[in-house]
Homo-oligomer: A and B are copies of this chain.
Amino acid sequence: MNLRDEQLEIYRDFLKIPSISAKKMGIEEAASFLKDLLEDRGIGSQVMKTSGHPVVYGEHNIGADRTLLIYNHYDVQPVDPENEWEMDPFSAKVRDGRIYARGSSDNKGTLIARIFGVEEAIRNKELNVNLKFLYEGEEEIGSPNLHEYVTGNKELLKADSVIMEGSQLGDGGRPVVTLGVKGLLYVELKEETGGTDLHSSNAAIAPNPVWNLIAALNSIYDGKRVLIPGFYDDIRPITGKEDSILSEYPFNEDEMKKLFALKAFRYSGSEKLVRELFTSPTCNIDGIISGYNGEGTKTVTPRRASAKLDFRLVPDQDPSKIYGNLKRHLKEKGHNVEIKEFGLEFPVRTDPGSALAKAMIASAEQTYGKKPVIMINSPGTQPMAIFTRELGIGEGVSAIGAGDHNSRAHAPNESVSVENFYRAMDHARNFLKVFR
C-alpha cells in the first residue's frame, strides 16, 4: 500500500467511529483515535477532560515567534432521517471516487487531511510557526463546554492566529477562504397545557398547545423579519472591501437550486441571494412536534408541543443579549412557553488584509490553480469567537477543507471526493510553507 492509500484508510477508520455528540456515542473512541494519530506523528498530545465531551489537545513547538492554533471537531451530526441514506452512514463506503459517511465532510475529512499536511511539512522542514491543535467533541451540539475549556486553559492555548474547521470547495472546484462566521442562538420552546392528551371534542373549551406555540412563534418572526426588539440594532455595516468581496462571490441560482433539490429560493436574483446569505441574520425552525403524526387519523387535543429554533447572527449581534430580549419579549406578549437555550455563539469577521488571510488566499490559489472564493464570513457557525474574544487572537480564518457542494453536510448521504481529500492535505502543507 502506498502512503496516500494508507492515509485514506486511516481517514476511513476514523469515519467508522459513530461519534454523534447529540447521542453521546463513540466519543471516547474518537478522542483516543486522534490522540494516537498525533502521537504516532511525533506531535505531543493529550485527551483533556471538560465538563462535557473531552478535548484532544496537541502541540508542536519549533521555537518560532508565532503560534498557529488549528481547531477542528471530531463529533458529527445525527444521521436521521436514516432511511434516506443509501448506505450505512458509518461504513465509509467508497463509490465512484467519493467516500460516504456521516462526518466525512463535516469535518473529519478536513481534520485528518490537515494532520497529514502537517506531517509532510514537518518531515520536509517547511514549518515557520509553532502549532497547537484543539479538537473538540461538542461542536454539533453548540459547543456548550468549549468556552469553559478555553478560558480555563488560556496559557496552554496562547496563539497568534487560528484556523477553524475549514470550508468546502466552491463552484468549479475553487478553494474557499472564509474570513469569519455567523453567530448562533439555538433555543427550544415548549408549551404544555395539561397532564394528558384529550379527545379533540374538548377543543372547544381546552387550549391547544400547538396553537399557543404557533402564536409564540408568530410573535418572534413574521416570515420575513425577526420581531424581537432590538434584534437588528447592533448589525455592523459591511466595509468597502467586504462589499467588493460579496460582489465577486460566484452564485449560480439554477445550479444551487438543483444541488439543494429546492423548489424555489426565498428571493430571486443572485445578487440578492448572496447578500442575504452572508449579511442577513436568520430565524430557522429546526423541528416542531406535537400530537399524533402517524398513519391515518387520531382526533386528539395534545397536551404539549415543542419547537427548536436557531438564529444565525451577523457581526456585531450579541446572542446573549438577543436571548434575553427574546425571553422578555415572549413574556411581554403573554406567551407562557417554556424556553431553553441550547447554544450561544458570537459572530466574527476578520480583516481581509491580515497576514493569515493573505497566506491562506495565496496558498489556496497555488494548490488548486484557481482564484479562491472569499467569504466575508461563513453563512454557518463555528466557535471562532471563543478564540478571538477569549484568547485575544487577532486573526481567524476558516479554510483548507475536504468537502464540496455535493457533500451534503448535516443531510443524508454526506460524502467527500477522494481527490479533494488529498488536495486538502496539499493545501495544508502549502499554507504552512508560506505562513509566518
Q: Which residues of A contact B (CB under 8 A)?
A: 21-23, 77-78, 80-81, 84, 140-142, 182, 184, 186, 192-208, 210-211, 214-215, 217-218, 221, 223, 260-267, 273, 276-277, 280, 282-303, 305-308, 310, 312, 342-343, 378-381, 408-412
Q: Which residues of B contact A298 (CB under 8 A)?
A: 22, 77-78, 140, 286-287, 308, 410
B287→A343 contact, CB < 8 A? no
Q: Can you tell how many copies of this chain the complex includes? A: 2
Given contacts A204-B277, A204-B312, list 10 more A-B pairs with CB under 8 A.
Answer: A22-B296, A78-B292, A200-B284, A201-B379, A210-B307, A211-B285, A214-B218, A288-B291, A289-B293, A300-B411
A261→B201 contact, CB < 8 A? no
In the complex, how many angstroms separate the beta carbon of A348 from the nearest chain B beta carbon? 15
Question: Which residue in chain B gives the minimum CB-CB distance to A410?
Answer: B199
In the complex, how many angstroms separate the beta carbon of A257 from the nearest chain B beta carbon? 9
Residue A282 contacts which of B23, B184, B203 (CB distance < 8 angstroms)? B203
Given A217-B214, A218-B218, A286 and B280 contact (CB-CB distance below 8 Å): no
In the complex, how many angstroms separate the beta carbon of A77 from the nearest chain B beta carbon? 6
Given A261-B194, A296-B342, A204 and B287 contact (CB-CB distance below 8 Å): no
Q: Which of A142, A263, A265, A283 has the most CB of B within 10 A?
A: A263
B294→A78 contact, CB < 8 A? yes
B410→A299 contact, CB < 8 A? yes
B287→A203 contact, CB < 8 A? no
In the complex, how many angstroms separate the beta carbon of A303 from the nearest chain B beta carbon? 8
Residue A196 contacts which of B194, B223, B412 (CB distance < 8 angstroms)? B412
Given A277-B204, A286-B302, A23 and B295 contact (CB-CB distance below 8 Å): yes
In the complex, how many angstroms separate the beta carbon of A388 from the nearest chain B beta carbon? 19
CA distance A223 to B203 in the complex (A): 11
In the complex, how many angstroms separate the beta carbon of A330 from the nearest chain B beta carbon? 16
Given A204-B379, A206-B266, A380-B201, A291 and B297 contact (CB-CB distance below 8 Å): no
B408→A196 contact, CB < 8 A? yes
CA distance A160 to B302 in the complex (A): 39
Q: Which residues of B contact A80 (CB under 8 A)?
A: 292, 294
A289→B289 contact, CB < 8 A? yes
In the complex, how many angstroms separate the beta carbon of A30 from the nearest chain B beta carbon? 17
B223→A201 contact, CB < 8 A? no
In the complex, how many angstroms separate the beta carbon of A302 from the nearest chain B beta carbon? 7
CA distance A194 to B261 in the complex (A): 5
CA distance A196 to B405 in the complex (A): 14
Q: Which residues of B contact A306 (CB under 8 A)?
A: 293
Question: Which residue in chain B gives the minimum CB-CB distance to A181?
Answer: B201
CA distance A81 to B192 in the complex (A): 15
In the complex, how many angstroms separate the beta carbon of A53 from the nearest chain B beta carbon? 12
In the assembled complex, 29 residue pairs joining A and B whose CB atoms fall closer than 8 Å, in A order, are: A22-B294, A80-B292, A84-B196, A182-B201, A193-B264, A195-B261, A196-B411, A199-B409, A199-B410, A201-B379, A201-B380, A202-B277, A203-B284, A204-B276, A205-B267, A206-B260, A206-B266, A207-B264, A208-B284, A284-B299, A287-B293, A287-B302, A289-B293, A297-B310, A298-B308, A299-B310, A299-B380, A299-B381, A300-B410
Q: Which residues of B contact A288 (CB under 8 A)?
A: 210, 288-291, 293, 305
CA distance A202 to B84 in the complex (A): 20
CA distance A133 to B223 in the complex (A): 53
